[in-house]
Structure 1
């Protein structure tokens, strides 16, 4: 057998002596593990890693969805756009997003998170700011397309990044915390838009222009700080002691492939494209992205069409997102504790289905508004689990980076379709958009059920193979087992269902 290109990364930094030959001051990794409080270390990682990443995603979601708030404040009128032309700009955003996600994660793998993620943020912050000074329909279209290109690398990049720091069952909760910024962005977006709209006339600009300008400039400022806030990987993290770095690598080597020194290879890219499970992960998000983005982009319009004023609609968009934020965290905790993914996705999608049934069946403003709360309360928790699933289950590193990007690309094809569904002529009931969202959520339950079955059958085959070869399960085995580790095809790798 040819020598594997995947070798375990040494636990120590370059220039330090190997632990096997150093003095008593350098204990074995196993001994070091007993002198470190694991829960305290996890809290330290959470405190250092999650706040900056969550802030970046909050700004990302804010800068992509604030166009819905700007529309209520007269953007389409000022740019002399029809309702369908406005939708075309939403569509172009996702075209750019879909096309560049895989290339962006390839760049991340070839560079570093500290360089790549803040640079993406800086670029989209500039583009978002420029949206506030566009003068015509062409400028609107171009800005939306390049905003999608610039934002495309953040989410799949961060999901891969977190998989290099946390054990598999710890990743979902962290991804959910990170994704919860989307619901916070929706809540803050409504409040900010309501307040900023009062700047109408300042500098000769309408209120909607200041929404883009101020929120875009905020992103630019944060991106500059992110070059100092975002760290690379555990082996070089400045905020960790030597013993803490060793312990992180010890706990990861017994759980996943994070500390294996794997160079980028095109063969690993091909493995991702050839794996049917990766396409199923993509379909799970495809069936969620349409309801996710139609709700986030059109919620102010939906509420406005229920009979509320523009200012009331901006403020009434806050409660659905607030409920979604709480449930996203609660469901993530339950999913992590039970080590189950599919049942929680199915249950959350069913809750969102109730919301769309209410929206389709009722024309009373108060009852229909309740439907938006149910919809948000189901969509956001389900999406958080869907997006963390391939990070839990796909191995090696390059394949996982590509799988994460493929999932978002395939998924956002649903968003491309969704941007054309809430057409002016279908208001105020929006039967077309609500109907598609309902159908996609039903399809999500079907796809998740199929993937659940596929993963379960794969685990059964792996268990039989382990028994035949006398192997243990993955945990505690991958780091020290003899023979080449085969990624998620290895019988020691157990899929989370």
Structure 2
């Protein structure tokens, strides 16, 4: 265990008050030299980069979770599916998602974001639209599987993409803002489903079919726009001036590996698989994905079984997601300002635990509904931090690219399990599903606690090595971006805890 004095050194090296201790120019002095306002440039990046990414993820989450809304409007009856057959389709989505996560990020590393991300969106938009015209159970299964395949590359790809534009401590808020689209999708999904369901009978189609068709077509249109709206990397972005490109390269050079010319290698892929911390990040998301996806897929059904009509359940699914959206962004701001990750994850996971305790312990509809709000309010902020953590801490580029994908691949095995837990015969209380979700959240608190200890120990060891060699840490404009760089094994690379 690191000594108290060593831990203080780690905190000092990564605190907001850390001062310049080398002759390297700071971001502010460099910005003045090239006449650039750093805060204005960051706002410019946010306005240009985040809206299209957030929209694509909102549509992604909407297209994967609207099946829960369609179920309330009679999909299972029309296709003649049993409750267990419906769950199998949910499972197949995540099987496709898990299998193609890493291959998709390898393609992203070899291709470009502007080409790859909109293409993925176009493919899943077509598949999502076709879900509205399936006529039998086989078509339902095939559509769900290929929807998972097509959507698998978006989230890990965007997390990697953001890490190539922003400094390490700036990434978490951006990832959280991007991920908050998931909670917005849940809120919009309920309202849209309620409205679209009134098209029942239009063109000879049931209302549930129009949910898939209209939302899928919106995704197709958005994908075409995204070919012109998504940019590649700072060195080629058309909306930046040469001075702005130079300044972005400078500020990243002293903070992370984004500016290094690193080609793809299989040895770097293997490094990701051999790092125990990467597997702890994977477990951190695995223990959150089951609660996340069971809530997003089954929330309308859970609310309906409390005694509400289908239309009421669609509308009552909005408030839990609205609260989750606000809390996700609020926690992200606090976590980024304080430069602390683990305590916020553990705290919000504990908040979600309260929600499931209410769902399990009290059968009154009002109390159980409040439980769904607590659950959503705790799950979404936790997931946002968990998913941004390896983007902050893993280096170099290929290793981080694979670690992001591996985290979501292993994590979504939890979702695969979760899709089988909310069985028809367990309604209306769903003790099995709620119990698993609660157990996974408790496990998340323990996994994140272990990872927190591991990262602090490694940081303490790196501080000792830097002291012995007379080195200074990377980050906050005090690192030396020159010389041989050893990725996250470099003693100058301190982990964010």
Fold conserved between structures, TM > 0.5: yes
Superposed CA offset, 1:268-297 (max 9, x none): 000000000000000000000000000000
Question: Is the 8 Å Cα contact of residues 160 and 391 (structure 1) preserved in structure 2?
Answer: yes
**Equivalent in the alignment of 1:413:** 413
Displacement of 1:474:
1.2
Q: What are the within-5 Å matches in structure 2 for residues 45-444 of structure 1?
A: 45-444=45-444
- Contact 2:287–2:441 (CA<8 Å) still a contact in 1? yes
For the residues of structure 2 that align with 1:106 and 1:32, how far apart are their CA atoms?
38
Query: What secondary structure sits across from 2:348 in the alignment?
Result: helix
Q: Which residue of 2 aligns with 1:13?
A: none
Q: TM-score with structure 1 length normalisation?
A: 0.93
The question of whether the paired residues in 2 share the 8 Å contact of 1:393 and 1:496 is answered with: yes
What is the SS of the residue equivalent to 1:352?
A: helix
Which deviations, in whole Å up to 9, do the C-alpha atoms of 1:230-283 show, x marking residues without a partner?
000000000000000000011000100000010000000000000000000000
C-alpha separation in 2, matches of 1:288 and 1:340: 19
Structure 2 distance, partners of 1:313, 1:411, is 29
Q: How far did residue 300 of structure 1 move?
A: 0.1
Partner of 1:489: 489
Q: Is the 8 A contact 1:477 1:492 kept in 2?
A: no
Residues of 1 paired with 2:51 and 2:414: CA distance? 29
Structure 2 CA distance for aligned equivalents of residues 74 and 243 of structure 1? 57
State the distance in 1 between where 2:48 and 2:480 align. 26
Cα offset, 1:365, TM superposition: 0.4
- 1:3 corresponds to which residue? none
> Is the 2:98–2:413 Cα contact (8 Å) retained in structure 1?
yes
Q: Is the 8 A contact 2:474 2:480 kept in 1?
A: no
Shift of 1:480: 3.5
SS in 1 for 2:221: helix
Query: Residues of 2 paired with 1:426 and 1:480: CA distance?
Result: 58
Equivalent-residue separation in structure 2 for 1:481 and 1:67 (angstroms):
51
Q: Distance in 1 between matches of 2:230 and 2:278?
A: 28
Instruction: Go from structure 1 to structure 2 and tell me whether the alpha carbon gap of 1:170 and 1:31 turns closer, same or farther (over 3 Å shift).
Output: closer
CA distance in 1: counterparts of 2:423 and 2:33, whole angstroms: 58
Secondary structure of the residue aligned to 1:132 is helix
Determine the C-alpha separation between the residues in 2 that align with 1:331 and 1:116: 31
Alpha-carbon deviation of 1:457?
A: 0.3
For residues 40 and 137 of structure 2, the distance between their equivalents in structure 1, rounded to whole angstroms, comes to: 53
Q: Measure how far apart 1:184 and its partner are.
A: 0.1
Q: Distance in 1 between matches of 2:329 and 2:372?
A: 19
Deviation sequence 1:85-122 (CA, Å, 0-9, x none)? 00000000000000000000000000000000000000
Shift of residue 33, structure 1, vs aligned partner: 5.0
For the 8 Å contact 1:32–1:243, the answer to whether it is kept is no
* Cα 1:227–1:439 shift into 2, 3 Å: same
Counterparts of 1:416 and 1:309, CA distance in 2: 28
Contact 2:31 2:247 in 1 (8 A): no
Equivalent-residue separation in structure 1 for 2:393 and 2:410 (angstroms): 18
Q: 2:474, 2:481 within 8 Å by CA — same for their partners in 1?
A: no
Instruction: Encode CA deviations 1:41-92: one digit per residue, 9 max, x unaligned.
Output: 0000000000000000000000000000000000000000000000000000
Please state whether the residue corresponding to 1:422 is helix, strand or coil: coil
TM-score normalised to structure 2 length = 0.93
State whether residues 306 and 365 of structure 1, in contact with CA within 8 Å, keep that contact through their aligned partners in structure 2: yes
TM-fit CA distance, 1:477: 5.5
Q: Does structure 2 conserve the Cα–Cα contact (< 8 Å) formed by 1:478 and 1:485?
A: no
The change in CA–CA distance for 1:111 and 1:479 in structure 2 (over 3 A counts) is farther
> Which whole-Å CA distance do the structure 2 matches of 1:83 and 1:253 have between them?
54
Distance 2:488 2:472 in 1: 15
Q: Deviations over 1:359-394 (max 9, x none)?
A: 000100011000000000000000000000000000
Structure 2: distance between partners of 1:255 and 1:376: 34
1:4-37 Cα distance to aligned partner (Å, 9 max, x none): xxxxxxxxxxxxxxxxxxxxxxxxx936656211
CA contact (8 A) 1:122 1:220 kept: yes
For 2:133, what is the secondary structure of its paired residue?
Answer: coil
- Looking at structure 1, the residues matched to 479 and 392 of structure 2 have their Cα atoms a distance apart, in angstroms, of 15
Contact kept? 2:31, 2:38, Cα under 8 Å? no
